[in-house]
Structure 1
């Protein structure tokens, strides 16, 4: 076949599109054949072979920029180049596998955003009588604490674990969370604030603290973000939190 084949035929024989061939030309992977007397480019066996080689390497995941050096290498250089490609593909496979596993974990909720220790706390909550809504707020709160005060997160988890082992503390926390649905001027909030203040004074270890927060330049901003989380949907919380802090301040207690 002295005249060669058209670009459309070359694309069909190589298993690619005409557009792809032009991309290969622009990237210098396949030289453009000369035009015939009619002005059409004709592809011979050499160009067709090169097209097939490029297509195979591209299909194997080799970036276009790396295909040329591989095909132009000889002997040990060619083997070394292929080994490097294999190593790169292995790393990409590992990265993609990790991303897939992350997506699978996300399908079970926000657990991927929290360590196993925090997830174990969340797993305990249904058995202690916390509602699904309570768990959602708790999960979001833990994610925020981990993001805003990472250095104090383990200590914070230890405090929660300690509190969950105290039946009276658990009962009060559940009542506190229910109070979030009360109106801000509900008289029960004043009574609950007094009870909570006395509870923390009796056992200061139950008062939640965030180790390392006070050392940050923007500690107030971070504290406010954490303290007011969830108040949009639970209006009673803001008033309750304010009253508890006021009552503890009047006793001279050191607040975190």
Structure 2
């Protein structure tokens, strides 16, 4: 006996999409890119899909689930390309995705373990700061590490982490840093860049940097930095996530600094450079001081 309701010989786009597990919009896109031949329309002007159309839709669905691109599907159907080439390229793509998923999973685990945005920075930076309480780091500290990591890579930020370890464990140095930050903020647009206070503040910044360096050495943090350079490439711009040179990155990072504050930064840099050369302050005053 034949069933009372025979299956239709053709179906409309909505029924075809429902059976194949896709959407009418996707089917229309397949037509546009030539992946699925567009069927003839019925007397009502609507597309009608037959058995062969449905089979092709089901194969498209299976290939999409496997991660095969639409372009490669078209080539596979047309037999215009070796299937081995398609699968080899797909395997490479999946390997990249797998590596991305592993990195994302590791980042989530670090966030859970650290309990702060510090976990979003590279493992190199997170590990260096793991022995101090997360609340000992200020949001501005994390902001600075984020910028350094973008410009100089994880190794550069991991080296900079020594400064924030010292600030978190030496209240006197943190208080001095806060005082200098307040003085920097006072160098607004109303201050003449050649005001004597600018030169004096630069000297204070230089002295503060010296004190930080001494604390880093006294706490043995410099040994940890040397170990980092032994383990990792010393090229601070070699990180794969750095897409521009350090100079380009710095020139693209906006800072709303007044001319007086910019001159203070420049003078501080000159003093630190002279200090690094072992030149006494009274014999190595910057030319524009």
The two structures have a TM-score, normalised by structure 1, of: 0.55
Aligned partner of 1:19 among 25, 29, 42: 25
Task: Give the superposition deviation at 1:81.
Answer: 3.2
Contact 2:13-2:47 within 8 A present in 1 as well = yes
Contact 2:31-2:38 within 8 A present in 1 as well = yes
Contact 2:148-2:157 within 8 A present in 1 as well = no
Q: Distance in 2 between matches of 1:67 and 1:199?
A: 61
Counterpart residue number, 1:73: 79
**Within the alignment, does 1:89 sit opposite 2:94 as a pair?**
yes
Q: Distance in 2 between matches of 1:155 and 1:35?
A: 65
Aligned partner of 1:206 among 186, 202, 214: 214
Q: Distance in 2 between matches of 1:33 and 1:152?
A: 59
Task: Give the superposition deviation at 1:92.
Answer: 2.4
Note the residue ranges of structure 1 that are not aligned, 5 or more in a row.
209-215, 232-237
Task: Give the superposition deviation at 1:44.
Answer: 1.8
Counterpart residue number, 2:226: none
Note the residue ranges of structure 2 that are not aligned, 5 or more in a row.
1-6, 187-199, 217-245
Counterpart residue number, 1:30: 36
Q: Report the CA distance shift for 1:133/1:254 in structure 2 as closer, same or farther (over 3 A).
A: farther
Contact 2:128-2:158 within 8 A present in 1 as well = no
Aligned partner of 1:113 among 121, 126, 129: 121
Counterpart residue number, 2:144: 141
Task: Give the superposition deviation at 1:172.
Answer: 3.7
Contact 1:105-1:112 within 8 A present in 2 as well = yes
Q: Report the CA distance shift for 1:221/1:152 in structure 2 as closer, same or farther (over 3 A).
A: farther
Looking at CA atoms only, which structure, 1 or 2, has the larger radius of gyration?
1
Task: Give the superposition deviation at 1:96.
Answer: 3.4
Q: Distance in 2 between matches of 1:156 and 1:24?
A: 53
- Give secondary structure in 2 for the equivalent of 1:61: coil
Counterpart residue number, 1:234: none
Task: Give the superposition deviation at 1:49.
Answer: 0.7
**Within the alignment, does 1:132 sit opposite 2:135 as a pair?**
yes
Task: Give the superposition deviation at 1:121.
Answer: 4.8
RMSD: 5.3
